[in-house]
């Protein structure tokens, strides 16, 4: 959840200068269904995002953040919702930020190129943009307001883009589509695969998704020698310390079990590192073979 830090004291440099506020739904827009903008929008560029977000701005910057605008809307009953419009550097960054902010447990919405409603907040992405709309309770009228503002924003925010190509590597069979998390860089990797941190494993980008009771992680660590070095670091993680036990190595895979008994298995397929967690060996191998056939 995003929190506002000292909004009343924001410097004028963060006011509406960049024109992103032109994409916001305006007063008397019939799609707002009685909700109206209240106050002036606030805009943030680059590192200014740290002023708005109380912790967590780093992950947006890692994905590729350009600027953001925030606008509150109010209905006749005094209920308020807040719209946050993030302009990212490309559609992959927008999709990544969307996947980071959603749990996959909310209700799917036909907004932009994908949306979810969870309790009293809503997210969708569209082209280079991530749109987040937050209420302050989950009563029926507030949720209606979330949906009204979202539908209006869907028509005022332009663009269309493709999800990151790495997503196409994921086998469709058994995939929990709401669980897909796309990440770029160390922060995202540590969020998706925390066990990577002790071995200083790095990835340019990656994706994590659920399959049944387990998970699949696909990492792009570079081609040739870089991917081999990264795989060696992963092997050291499985072999060393107190986090893992029962290490094994075969011609096609390495693996171990963590201190809770969760099995991990990893392979290199082409120039991708594939890691499964929580899957039995046969299910893990079936999943990896499915990717081998695709590539």
Model confidence pLDDT, tens digit, residues 114-160: 999 998 999 999 999 999 999 988 899 999 999 999 999 999 999 99
Class of domain 7-156: alpha beta
| Domain 165-294 is found in CATH 3.40.1000 | yes
Cα 138 to chain centroid, rounded: 23
Instruction: Tell me what the pLDDT averaged over the chain comes to.
Output: 89
Residues 155-178, mean pLDDT to the nearest whole number: 94
Q: Among 54-58, 88-92, 196-200, 265-269, name the one with the lowest average pLDDT.
A: 196-200
For 261, other C-beta atoms within 10 Å of its C-beta total: 9
List CB contacts of 49: < 8 A, sequence separation 6 or more.
Answer: 57, 60, 61, 65, 68
Select from 44, 49, 47 the least CA-distant residue to 17: 44
Whole-angstrom Cα distance, residue 178 to residue 102?
Answer: 8
- pLDDT of the residue at 12: 35
Percentage of residues in the chain with pLDDT exceeding 70? Answer: 92
- pLDDT digits 0-9 by tens, 195-234: 765 557 888 999 999 999 999 999 999 888 999 999 999 9
- pLDDT of residue 104 exceeding 90, the answer is no
Is the pLDDT score of 16 beyond 70? Answer: no
pLDDT at res. 192: 85
Q: What is residue 289's predicted lDDT score, i.e. its pLDDT? A: 95
Q: Are 156 and 196 in contact (CB under 8 A)?
A: no
Q: Is the pLDDT of residue 278 over 80?
A: yes
- pLDDT (average), residues 232-246: 86
Higher pLDDT, 130 or 5: 130
Q: How confident is the model at residue 185 (pLDDT cuts 50, 70, 90)?
A: confident
Residues 117 and 213: their CA atoms lie apart, in Å, by 24
Where in the chain are the domains? 7-156, 165-294
Reported as type and span, the H/E element at residue 73 is: strand 65-74
Task: State the pLDDT confidence band at 242, using cuts at 50, 70 and 90.
Answer: confident
Nearest to 199 by CA among 260, 262, 250, 264: 264
Residue linked to tokens 């447990």: 105
pLDDT of residue 31: 95
pLDDT classification of 68: cutoffs 50, 70, 90: very high
In the prediction, which pLDDT does 125 show? 97
pLDDT reported for residue 229: 92
165 contacts: CB under 8 Å, gap ≥ 6: none
Q: What is the pLDDT of residue 190?
A: 86
Q: Is 179 exposed, middle or buried (0-12, 13-18, 19+ CB in 10 A)?
A: middle
Q: Are 63 and 90 in contact (CB under 8 A)?
A: no
Question: Is pLDDT at 7 greater than 60 in this prediction?
Answer: no
pLDDT, residue 14, reads 39
């Amino acid at each position: 959840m995003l929190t506002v830090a000292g909004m009343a004291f924001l410097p004028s440099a963060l006011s509406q200068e960049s024109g992103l506020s032109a994409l916001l739904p305006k007063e008397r827009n019939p799609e707002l269904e009685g909700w109206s903008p209240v106050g002036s929008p606030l805009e943030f560029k680059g590192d200014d995002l740290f002023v708005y977000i109380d912790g967590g701005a780093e992950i947006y910057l890692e994905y590729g953040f350009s600027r953001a605008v925030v606008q509150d809307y109010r209905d006749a009953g005094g209920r308020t919702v807040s719209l946050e419009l993030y302009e990212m550097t490309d559609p992959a960054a927008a999709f990544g930020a969307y996947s980071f902010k959603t749990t996959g447990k909310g209700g799917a919405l036909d907004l932009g190129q994908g949306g979810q409603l969870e309790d009293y907040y809503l997210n969708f992405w569209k082209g280079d943009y991530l749109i987040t709309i937050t209420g302050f309770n989950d009563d029926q009228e507030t949720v209606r307001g979330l949906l009204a503002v979202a539908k209006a924003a869907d028509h005022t925010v332009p663009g269309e883009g493709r999800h990151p190509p790495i997503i196409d590597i994921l086998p469709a069979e058994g995939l929990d589509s709401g669980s897909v998390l796309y990440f770029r860089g160390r922060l995202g990797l540590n969020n998706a695969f925390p066990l990577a941190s002790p071995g200083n494993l790095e990835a340019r980008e990656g994706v994590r998704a659920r399959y049944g009771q387990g998970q699949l992680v696909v990492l792009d660590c570079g081609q040739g020698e870089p991917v081999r070095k990264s795989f060696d670091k992963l092997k050291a993680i499985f072999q060393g310390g107190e986090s893992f036990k029962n290490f094994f190595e075969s011609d096609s895979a390495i693996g171990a079990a963590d201190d809770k008994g969760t099995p991990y298995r990893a392979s290199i397929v082409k120039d991708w590192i594939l890691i499964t967690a929580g899957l039995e060996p046969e299910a893990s191998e079936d999943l990896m073979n499915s990717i081998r056939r695709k590539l």
